[in-house]
Structure 1
Amino acid sequence: MHVSELPKGVPTQMLIGGSWVDARDGATTEVIDPATTETLASVPLATEADAMEAVTVAYEVQPSWERRAPRERAEILRKSYELMVERSEDIARVIVLENGKALPDARGEVAYAAEFFRWYAEEAVRQSGLIQRAPSGSNQILVLRQAIGVAVLVTPWNFPAAMATRKIAPALAAGCSVILKPATDTPLTALLIAKILMDAGVPAGVVNVLPARGSSNVVSKMLHDPRVRKLSFTGSTEVGRTLLHEAADTIINSSMELGGNAPFLVFADADLDAAVAGAMIAKMRNGGEACTAANRFYVQASVASAFSAKLAQAMESLKMGPGLAEGTELGPLINQEAQDKVEALVSDALDRGARLLSRGERWQGKGYFVQPAVLEDVDPSSQLLGEEIFGPVAPVTSFETEDEAISLANATDFGLVSYLYTGDLARGLRVAEALEAGMIGLNRGLVSDPAAPFGGVKQSGLGREGGQEGVLEYTEAKYIATSWS
């Protein structure tokens, strides 16, 4: 198979009402392999008319899908899980080709993504309500959880499988129909997952997929249709803020998983080898292109040099290359814009006096590759500490006291995830409680789990995905006051 050749059977049309169709006006966009800059495929760009057709079919089929027995919805989700595992290698290859990440990383994403189907197959039959006697004794209180209705799901390019299943699975479990708008850079994975859902028995119209340009007029059109009752978005805080304004016009229930600026704290009593291993997971998952990626490393002064040296050695040893090439551990970034941004952030930090500890060999071929790097003594005013890097670059700064570490970690408008390493459990729990983040990795470099509530505080988002909380995002509580005595 050629590097930029897709596996057979990958859909390249959008899905509306159970049919694979082209855009009304024939518009298309090219999907590019970031490792070679070659074209993989052309896919339709949905129009506003296409979006309205998708809303119509989703709205019409949603009541019947909600009325399906929870066990029936659960069995379809379970079958989706089984098919996704069965076809995991093809899905992983598609992810590598359109996203760029290394094949082992893509395989890990597919396994993680499939777990959302399994988890919510189990949750679909466990949506409990409430019956209690009113405190006054005058009546009974009944609370039902009902599907919120048609849900518009907008997903990013960095985890094209996991971000899709993390939204689709709880929505289907709750009884919602969905319209997925995948990222323009990575629509093929979403289309392949939609095919799996159809093969698993999801009724026509319950899942629709509309590739479209950015969070465009297509999304805006859907958000201004009163038949749409839910928006779930994963992406940048800037775009999320815009979509919240759009959703406000029709008071659409909104979930937002937005940007991050994750601190990674290392205390002097930590196991440095374990901390470096955790740092490589937290920093280098998907080559650093993750909202959960460790963005700022704060290390207690007495061990800062030792930690930095170990981290630099680990980063320098990574084998960079096309994601499908044997032994590749670090693939390219998603596009030219991402490559330019990361290189500009590194240049800014160096201009402000940062010291470069390691930098792998520059990639000589095509593609949007950026060398992994560790920088020490990074000036606090550097853009590298204030912005999401979204690349394989680790800035290291030292601290003296626990209070200083907490203050540095919390000095951001974001609060998605924070990491800390310490040998003192009491300190670890104390600091974890003080950190302003929705998720904490305590002596762990990985926090994502389908069974856990994923989400942030401050400008990192609204609501939670995963866990029991994830399905509640797609339901509304209905209170019934009655009396039978």
Structure 2
Amino acid sequence: MTAHFAIDNELLRLGDTPVPTGLYIDGEWRKGNGGEAIPVVDPSTGNVITHVENASVADAMAALEVAHDRAPSWSRTAPRERAEVLRRCFELMIERQDIIAELISLENGKSLADALGEVRYAAEFFRWFAEEAVRLNGEIYPAPSGANRIIVEHQPIGVSILVTPWNFPAAMATRKIAPALAAGCTCILKPASETPLTANYLADLYAEAGVPRGVVNVLTTAHSGKVVGALLDDARVRKLSFTGSTEVGRVLLAAAAKSVVSCSMELGGNAPFIVLDDADIDDALAGAMIAKMRNGGEACTAANRFYVHDTVHDAFANGLAERMGGLDIGIAYDKQTECGPVINRAAVTRLHELVEDAVAKGATILVGGAPLDRPGFFFPPTVLTNVRSDARILREEIFGPIAPIVRFGSDEDVVRQANDTEFGLISYLFTRDLARGLALSEQLESGMVGLNRGLVSDPAAPFGGVKQSGLGREGAHHGILEFTETKYIAANW
């Protein structure tokens, strides 16, 4: 087991560095006025790690006041200066990647290998948007009539509220903070109460990198609805960027509509993983292990439904069961662990209910299938076959290490089944025929497709979904534009 963290009288330390547990407002750590402090639980043991402060609406208004006051000066900062600050954030995260990964494993439950991958991915958003900060180019061209010039600029949208989930406590924050800062916006981050420590630790890192006081503020709260709702009701807030469930996203969109706040929404998924008859089965299995087991399946991009052609079904199903059944399950921050716990006890219960529902409707368990009898919140990697179309597990986002497999016979059939969902975040497709793969990729109703790949996330690529999987895009050049307003100036000279 690693030993970089220690808990002493509810004070968590990483090495020699204490991890803040307060509210980060105007560059200072403060007490909250929202009532009883929020416990942070280690999913590997079920034990409380520490407690963090609980923000009230009044605390949120204090953070908003600061963010609004600092907005003019930060927006006027030279793009190169903003870029250098972001670049330094990247460098500091890479310097401390091992210790940040341990903190993520401790509060989130993902394996150290997964956590280290997240830190590197999270840091890369700062490097990418450091480069984008100096390339926020506008346009100038003559009007078709010749009467004037058309000038187009991209200006900072203003104070931005960033709401992030527990499954990627570093990356979901930096994917929003980096483009907001690059565009010249100030922000208030509300991390998930299950995993607030990573966000708090990184807040101090941003300050060390040169982010001015009040430009980034961090609020933990047990009153998310009230706090975020109050912020959205305030005219000084001009942007909401949310990653989380579609259900919560709908509520936030309705709240934002009252003040016509610009929204970026990265919502739920129900990703199909399609293996065609001509696929390389070894490649498909390798891709499946990444697409399904990255972060233990607790990812919106996780493969949710496996559709495998009749002719290769048995080889794929048995191969996947062998690989998933062979994973080393254990405490997240043990170095040999390949699959850690899920986030909490409720998640274990729900995963078991999904399996029982599928089995009651005729599914066969090849491996796993029931919670592990041990401290912490463990559900083993599970593979199901003969899963019927009316099983809940094919309709709901699983968010855990379960792979339900369905047979199919034709390309038309599998496209129909893959698209039969309200979600449309990502699809995966494996085939040796590139032309066939590209043709089917265009028919799949999702914002992203992994063609012969089990991993698509990249700061240089536009991340986002269609249908009820979200609005807008994160990453790429698209990501910084989400934090800008486009201004047109008609000019004569």
Task: Please report the TM-score for the alignment, with normalisation by the length of structure 1.
Answer: 0.98
Pair 1:135-2:157 in alignment: no
User: For residue 93 of structure 1, what is the aligned residue in structure 2?
Assistant: 102
Deviation at 1:10, TM superposition (A): 1.3
Consecutive unaligned residues of structure 2, counting only runs of 5 or more, are: none
Count residues in correspondence. Answer: 484
Deviation at 1:214, TM superposition (A): 6.0
User: For residue 230 of structure 2, what is the aligned residue in structure 1?
Assistant: 221
Deviations 1:53-84 (A, max 9, x none): 00000000011001000000000000000111
Task: Please report the TM-score for the alignment, with normalisation by the length of structure 2.
Answer: 0.97
Aligned equivalent of 2:61, options 52, 62, 65:
52
User: For residue 320 of structure 1, what is the aligned residue in structure 2?
Assistant: 329
Deviation at 1:361, TM superposition (A): 8.8
User: For residue 395 of structure 1, what is the aligned residue in structure 2?
Assistant: 404
User: For residue 366 of structure 1, what is the aligned residue in structure 2?
Assistant: 375
Deviation at 1:363, TM superposition (A): 3.3
Distance 2:283 2:5 in 1: 36
Q: Is the 8 A contact 2:111 2:339 kept in 1?
A: yes
For 1:98-113, what aligned pairs fall within 5 Å after superposition? 98-113=107-122
CA distance 1:232–1:442, shift in 2 (3 Å): same
Deviation at 1:11, TM superposition (A): 1.2
Q: Which secondary structure state, in structure 2, belongs to the residue aligned with residue 404 of structure 1?
A: helix
Q: Which deviates more from structure 2 when the two are superposed, residues 358-367 or residues 134-143?
A: 358-367
For 1:202-241, what aligned pairs fall within 5 Å after superposition? 202-213=211-222, 215-241=224-250
Q: Is the 8 A contact 2:4 2:102 kept in 1?
A: no
For 1:335-350, what aligned pairs fall within 5 Å after superposition? 335-350=344-359
User: For residue 460 of structure 2, what is the aligned residue in structure 1?
Assistant: 451
Pair 1:63-2:72 in alignment: yes
User: For residue 448 of structure 2, what is the aligned residue in structure 1?
Assistant: 439
Deviations 1:413-460 (A, max 9, x none): 000000000010011000000000000000000000000000000000
Aligned equivalent of 1:470, options 473, 476, 479:
479
Aligned equivalent of 1:287, options 296, 302, 313:
296
Aligned equivalent of 2:25, options 2, 10, 16:
16
Distance 2:34 2:233 in 1: 22
Q: Which secondary structure state, in structure 2, belongs to the residue aligned with residue 216 of structure 1?
A: helix
Q: Is the 8 A contact 1:3 1:324 kept in 2?
A: no
Amino acid at match of 1:58: A
Q: Is the 8 A contact 2:355 2:369 kept in 1?
A: no
Distance 2:324 2:394 in 1: 19
Deviation at 1:362, TM superposition (A): 5.8
CA distance 1:207–1:3, shift in 2 (3 Å): closer
Of all paired residues, the percent bearing the same amino acid is 59
For 1:31-430, what aligned pairs fall within 5 Å after superposition? 31-213=40-222, 215-359=224-368, 363-430=372-439
Distance 1:295 1:466 in 2: 23
Q: Which secondary structure state, in structure 1, belongs to the residue aligned with residue 488 of structure 2?
A: strand
The 4+ residue runs of structure 1 with deviation greater than 3 A are 1-6, 360-364
CA distance 1:349–1:69, shift in 2 (3 Å): same
Distance 2:462 2:69 in 1: 31
Deviation at 1:4, TM superposition (A): 6.9
Q: Is the 8 A contact 1:184 1:214 kept in 2?
A: no
Consecutive unaligned residues of structure 1, counting only runs of 5 or more, are: none
Root-mean-square deviation (CA), in Å?
1.2
Q: Which deviates more from structure 2 when the two are superposed, residues 56-65 or residues 84-93?
A: 84-93
Q: Is the 8 A contact 1:316 1:360 kept in 2?
A: no
Distance 1:422 1:187 in 2: 41
Deviations 1:122-155 (A, max 9, x none): 0000000010000000000001100000000000
Q: Is the 8 A contact 2:162 2:240 kept in 1?
A: yes
Q: Is the 8 A contact 2:56 2:223 kept in 1?
A: no
